[in-house]
Structure 1
């Protein structure tokens, strides 16, 4: 989750020479890892009343609240034309992940039945990029289907599969892969072909192939390679995750709090002309920006803060827990 915040904050200092490489390195694996973990934790989801109620409380309600809050925030502090945008049907910025999680989980009882869902999800991911229709913008379906293979892979992972990733010598291999991905990110613009647009947009899975100005066949080959890199990077990073508990372990419970609130801080910095300030103060600002992003994540995840903010993220569950106490 902290890396998600860093990735969003790096957009504020894109002028720095090292930012594109670091940005692409992060986006090679951090969203795929997030989606795969979401799939792994969704394996038990079923179309039962308790599960559907939990989905409504933890995904639908926060989406309705924060989609409105983000749009209102942007209207007052930055983008004054946001009143013309479509609220709730067209997720804004990080809100796409909530709508995607809702759709993924609703499809889970079908996707989890057979391993053939994995290759079929890859086909769907490759195919959705050919669509440049308006319907793909609803609930960010372009991106939702684009990242679907990682979710389905997570659904079909077993605990013993993860144990193999966390073997005795796998961290060494994982570190080598991570270093290799970082080096590859320095050359990503050479194979992420993008005529007249930012190459890193390939890593968002949110734009149709036509927007990159290349043939459908070439575009599918690029997306397939990105999917493979996402899987490799995800397992490499997972092999490096510490096994023991530490001072930040319990902060993982506040992942949704950090995710939903960090955007307001990053946007506020943007609207306060942070980019212009960074332009005037040299290359060290990239490291300062990363430090600010880490601080935002840690403060929001700190138990005293997270407990209070959970009332906004999960109001129904918070009321139920308060009553039970």
Structure 2
């Protein structure tokens, strides 16, 4: 491919994404252990900020989304199709492997799958929030997103479980904050003196850790899940204030993560493009561990359980993201994208074969080659 049209990936963002998807798997693995003591505190620390950071990055990488046929088709092929396929597959797994009973399949998403629907909703809202930010400034878009998040806490009845809508709307501010960021605004975190933001990032995580240790004193764990206020038992004013505090902690943790993320590339960085594969497949491994009795293996040996969860979570995440595994599983996760890639390669080869050696490749063929197969941006 000509250098002029070759797209490059940012190792900083790939490191950040891959680290966050590892934390997603670790959080779900540690959730299989009893929540008494250190497991609960570790879980609270991760969940206060890791999904906010993931969502903020998703917003940043969705800044160019528009209502074009190509982008709307990507929502169908890259998000809705995997949701339908993997929501059904995980339901089948729970029924026939775990012996569970299910209800509301596809309308009440499984624990990993809600995020695919959330991305559809957030990206469809992207042009509106970008226009709002353009006319009223980034702060106006963020304030509106905060208002929607707070209002979603008052959803009742069937809305509380329909497509996990309260959680989707509750997390919206992080996505909008990502939308309003620009490379220039992020430059300080990766600037010429990275030691300063890294020190501040570590200090921020220390504060978040203290807040996680005392979570029950200022919030409850369901607040971290952005549950409707009616399920929390607090008064309206307390619920609203607590949600805003949880959002503030999530934003601080998200920026702290970006501040401490390495800027250099390597084998871990190369896995950053495999986050979708890890996300949709790891639920089967976590459920398999649950059915095998993972949580009961470490009764009375909680630190050994934490270590085992760490090893299993890393093995699941890194194993699924390993290049040979990823290339195989991508055919299931993104069958349309794989097919489009094959068509583009065939068109390019045909164009090259029909072009005299001394003549340049037609511009149309280069345009086909340069068009990204998939894009999170």
Residue 196 (structure 1) aligns with:
none
CA deviations on 1:265-308 (whole Å, 9 max, x unpaired) are: 00110011111112254432111111210111000000000000
CA deviations on 1:22-61 (whole Å, 9 max, x unpaired) are: 1111011100011111111111111111111112111111
Q: What is the alpha-carbon distance in structure 2 between the residues aligned to residue 131 and residue 238 of structure 1?
A: 33
Matched, 1:86 2:104: yes
Matched, 1:70 2:70: no
CA deviations on 1:106-163 (whole Å, 9 max, x unpaired) are: 1111111123221011011111112222124222110000000000111110111111
CA-based RMSD of the aligned residues comes to 1.3
Residue 201 (structure 1) aligns with:
222
Matched, 1:308 2:335: no
- Check conservation: 2:222, 2:232, Cα contact below 8 A: no
Query: Relative to structure 1, is the Cα distance of residues 90 and 15 closer, same or farther in structure 2, using a 3 angstrom cutoff?
Result: closer
- If the length of structure 2 is used for normalisation, what is the TM-score? 0.81
Using the TM superposition, give the Cα deviation of residue 91 of structure 1 relative to its aligned residue in structure 2, in angstroms.
Answer: 1.4
- Could you say which structure has the larger radius of gyration? 2
- If the length of structure 1 is used for normalisation, what is the TM-score? 0.94
Residue 178 (structure 1) aligns with:
205
Matched, 1:45 2:50: no
Q: What is the alpha-carbon distance in structure 1 between the residues aligned to residue 330 and residue 314 of structure 2?
A: 20
Query: Relative to structure 1, is the Cα distance of residues 15 and 217 closer, same or farther in structure 2, using a 3 angstrom cutoff?
Result: closer
SS in 2 for 1:279: coil
Residue 191 (structure 1) aligns with:
218
Residue 60 (structure 1) aligns with:
80
Q: What is the alpha-carbon distance in structure 2 between the residues aligned to residue 306 and residue 156 of structure 1?
A: 31
Which stretch of the first structure deviates more once superposed, 176-185 or 292-301? 176-185
Which residue of the other structure, out of 14, 27, 44, is the alignment partner of 1:7? 27
Using the TM superposition, give the Cα deviation of residue 99 of structure 1 relative to its aligned residue in structure 2, in angstroms.
Answer: 0.4
Matched positions, count: 316
CA deviations on 1:46-83 (whole Å, 9 max, x unpaired) are: 1111111112111111111101111111111225311x
Matches within 5 A, 1:69-218: 69-82=89-102, 85-113=103-131, 114=133, 115=138, 116-167=140-191, 168=193, 169-192=196-219, 199-205=220-226, 207-218=227-238
SS in 2 for 1:165: helix
Runs of 4+ in 1 over 6 A off after TM superposition: none
Residue 370 (structure 2) aligns with:
none
Q: Structure 1 unaligned runs (5+)?
A: 193-198
SS in 2 for 1:93: coil
